[in-house]
């Protein structure tokens, strides 16, 4: 394993963490973080701590997408204008907001925990 390959993997992981942070604002960068981390995780001869970092990013972005999608399903009654008068629509919307907030906080926590371990060159699990 050459020094150039190790530097490239560290660069990809740094970009993955930057994209993971920006995934808090848009989902497109979350997909980009997943792709960058999967490149590092699937390469041969990767250092163990970098591979665990990559798996950490992949796991938490996937979990973020699933919880966000589930939270977004609770907003579907808002599409029907005639249902807006019912109180259950307001309750369902509040549940959707809570799920999206939980997903956002989960990703923020995972980013902080993983990135600070990454700066110390340690495995995150």
pLDDT at 1 over 70: no
Mean pLDDT on 59-78: 91
Averaged pLDDT score across all residues of the chain: 90
Which pLDDT band, with edges at 50, 70 and 90, does 78 fall under?
A: confident
Task: Kindly state the tokens that stand for 25.
Answer: 């604002």
> How much is the pLDDT for 39?
94
Q: Could you tell me which residues come within 8 angstroms of residue 91 by beta carbon, excluding any fewer than 6 positions away?
A: none
Q: Supply the DSSP string of 60-101, one letter for each residue.
A: HHHHHHHHHHHHHHTTGGGG-GGGGGSHHHHHHHHHHHHHHH
Look at 21-30, 45-54, 82-91 and tell me which has the smallest mean pLDDT. Answer: 82-91
- Burial (0-12, 13-18, 19+ Cβ within 10 Å), 57: buried
> How much is the pLDDT for 2?
63
| C-alpha triplet 34, 40, 41: angle, nearest 5° | 80
Domain boundaries, the chain: 3-119
pLDDT at 4 over 80: no
Which pLDDT band, with edges at 50, 70 and 90, does 87 fall under?
A: confident
pLDDT at 84 over 80: no
């Amino acid at each position: 394993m050459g020094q150039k390959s190790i530097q490239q993997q560290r660069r990809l992981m740094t970009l993955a963490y930057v994209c993971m942070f920006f995934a808090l604002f848009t989902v497109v960068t979350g997909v980009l973080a997943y792709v960058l981390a999967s490149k590092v995780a699937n390469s041969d001869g990767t250092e163990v701590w970098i591979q665990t970092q990559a798996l950490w990013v992949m796991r938490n972005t996937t979990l973020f997408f699933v919880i966000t999608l589930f939270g977004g399903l609770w907003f579907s009654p808002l599409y029907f204008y005639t249902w807006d008068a019912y109180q259950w629509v307001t309750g369902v919307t509040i549940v959707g907001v809570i799920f999206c907030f939980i997903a956002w906080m989960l990703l923020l926590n995972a980013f902080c925990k993983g990135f600070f371990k990454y700066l110390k060159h340690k495995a995150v699990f």
